[in-house]
Amino acid sequence: MITTILFDLDGTLIDTNELIIKSYLHTLEKYYPGKYKREDVLPFMGPTLTEVFGKMDPDQVEEMILEYRRFNLANHDLLVKEFIGVAETVDTLKKKGYKMGIVTTKRHDTVLKGLRLMKLDPYFNVIIAIDHVKKEKPDPEPVLKALEQLGSKPDESIMIGDNFHDILAGKNAGTKTAGVAWSLKGRDYLAQFEPDYIFENMADLLTILGEGAE
């Protein structure tokens, strides 16, 4: 029986897709003028900034990350949007006593900014951000750390996300896994990593848990 639900943040609970794309395009235009278009940055959704920029130019990683974050924070509230069904589903789960946490490759301060903007911050007992771990997803460390803090076992938990990092992190930690079909990369992309479930809407989570909206 599932008692604990772990969520990725970006592209899963909150729609930061446009913010992330524009942050990458802004940064890359500064360092590589005219080289990158919108479709070129889609593969960068999910990996850490260090991973993405490190492959481009190891000597300028920190500088590029600072530029990305400057733009990202300045435009955060303007570009972040909600996904249909998320707030209602999370509210129902909280009322029914499920333990919930967030496991993300974002920094903790930016996670809080997004949650507060979408009024989701009261629902989560635990947040494991990139500044809390030595190894990020798909390594199991962040998932296991969240479960430890929640007092939960992997076999009674599910990890939900929009990227292969989320699904593999859950599998590596021994949890059930679910992909979200509203991922910018699409349902077929997620299906190849064989999650236990693929949700068309966050309310599908209530169905697999055997719960209904109040």
Q: Does the pLDDT at position 179 exceed 60?
A: yes
Packing angle between helix 17-31 and helix 61-79, nearest 10 degrees? 140
CA 47, CA 65: separation in Å to the nearest integer?
13
Name the residue range of residue 196's domain.
Answer: 4-15+81-208
User: What pLDDT does residue 212 have?
Assistant: 61
Domain identity same for 11 and 89: yes
Question: Domain ends where: 25, 45, 79?
Answer: 79
First to last CA, the chain: 20
Domain identity same for 30 and 124: no
Q: Is 8 a catalytic residue?
A: yes
User: What pLDDT does residue 214 have?
Assistant: 43
Q: Which amino acid is at 169?
A: A
Domain identity same for 190 and 139: yes
Q: Which amino acid is at 93?
A: L
CA atoms within a 13 Å half-sphere pointing along the CA-CB vector of 49: 21
Residue in 8, 10, 15, 162 annotated catalytic: 8
Q: Does the pLDDT at position 213 exceed 60?
A: no
Query: Predicted confidence band at 184 (pLDDT cuts at 50, 70, 90)?
Result: confident
Q: What percent of the chain has pLDDT over 90?
A: 93
User: What pLDDT does residue 46 have?
Assistant: 80
CATH, residue 175: 3.40.50.1000
Q: What is the CA radius of gyration of the chain?
A: 17
CATH, residue 65: 1.10.150
Domain identity same for 39 and 98: no
Residue 156 lies in a domain: yes
Confirm if 8 and 104 have CB atoms less than 8 A apart: yes
Residue 82 falls in which region: left (phi positive, over 0), alpha (psi -120 to 50) or beta? beta
User: What pLDDT does residue 125 have?
Assistant: 86
User: What pLDDT does residue 138 have?
Assistant: 95
Q: Does the pLDDT at position 45 exceed 90?
A: no
Domain identity same for 178 and 191: yes
Q: Does the pLDDT at position 99 exceed 60?
A: yes
CA 157, CA 99: separation in Å to the nearest integer?
9
Average confidence (pLDDT) over 164-168? 95
Average confidence (pLDDT) over 110-120? 95
Residue 85 falls in which region: left (phi positive, over 0), alpha (psi -120 to 50) or beta? left
Q: Does the pLDDT at position 56 exceed 60?
A: yes
Question: Domain ends where: 59, 79, 99?
Answer: 79
Strand partners of residue 82: 14
